[in-house]
Amino acid sequence: MSDAWHIVIPARLASTRLPDKVLADLAGKPVVQHVWERASAAGADSVRIATDSARIAAACGAFGAQVVMTRDDHPSGSDRIAEVAAAAGWKRERIVNVQGDEPFIPVPAIRQVAEMLAEDAAADIATLSVPIDDAEQFADPNCVKVVVDGRGDALLFSRAPIPYPRHDAGVVPQRHIGIYGYRADSLARMVSAQPCALEQTERLEQLRALWLGMRIRVAQAVEAPPPGIDTEADLAAARERATAH
């Protein structure tokens, strides 16, 4: 099995809530450049930006990134990454999906998901979580929750408050952090399957992998990332954070 691992950053312009956000200025650089710089510090064998936009490709080429042009009909970032993996001929290589709107993604968290796959040869996917200690967040459908089994594999992801606290048994609910590590062949299998009913109900793509019987390893994030950029308010907060640091 190959020990190589790669980072692919899917980036698109057509964001519903904040169009062009990956090219928005953040401390004098486009948002996606901040993501690429952190990804480049993680020690992967390669870092690629996958996009269907000539504007994004030009901007990323200007700061020296390796850009892969992909089809414009991909329903998700996972599909875009799978196209990159197929073109590169990756089979069992590890691939970390770092979102193009996460300018403060911690470098240790990127490494962590890659290492989780290296440590467990039977795992298909690796991802992270952090504890939820706020009742409002626990009830928020925009906060995706995850429940794991005894060996640390995901049992279920949901927008609903899970596990539901009928009794206080000391279980701390977990918020899913949307960074993924995939094996290339597992990713290809997932994107080649039709969306399942559970995935369509929750609008959570990772449920397709569970539906297919794939193993998703989950670990506590060594360093939790701050929120990404989805709205104008998020962008303003990111600019304040960038100025403060």
Residue 237 banded pLDDT, cuts 50, 70, 90: very high
At 2 the pLDDT is 63
Which CATH number do you get for residue 67? 3.90.550.10
Higher pLDDT, 245 or 39: 39
Examine residue 133 and state whether it is found in any structural domain, yes or no: yes
Reported confidence tier of residue 1, pLDDT bands at 50, 70, 90: very low
Residue 231 forms part of a structural domain: no
User: Peptide bond before 163: cis, by omega within 30 degrees of 0?
Assistant: yes
What average pLDDT is seen over the chain?
Answer: 94
Count of structural domains within the chain: 1
With respect to residue 238, please indicate whether it lies within any of the assigned structural domains: no
Would you say residue 228 lies in a domain?
no
Measured distance CA(190)–CA(121) in Å, rounded: 18
Does 237 fall in a domain? no
Flag whether 79 is in a domain: yes
How far is the C-alpha of 180 from the C-alpha of 42, rounded, in Å? 14
**153 has pLDDT over 70:** yes
Q: Is the pTM of this model over 0.85?
A: yes
What is the average pLDDT across 181-201? 96
Q: Which domain holds residue 213?
A: 5-223
Residue 192 lies in a domain: yes
User: What mean pLDDT is predicted for residues 136-150?
Assistant: 94
- Decide: helix, strand or coil at residue 116: helix
How far apart, in whole angstroms, are the C-alpha atoms of residue 105 and residue 87? 26
pLDDT value at 134 more than 50: yes
- pLDDT of 161 > 80? The answer is yes
Does residue 207 fall inside a structural domain? yes
The per-residue pLDDT for 114 is: 97
Average pLDDT over residues 74-100: 95
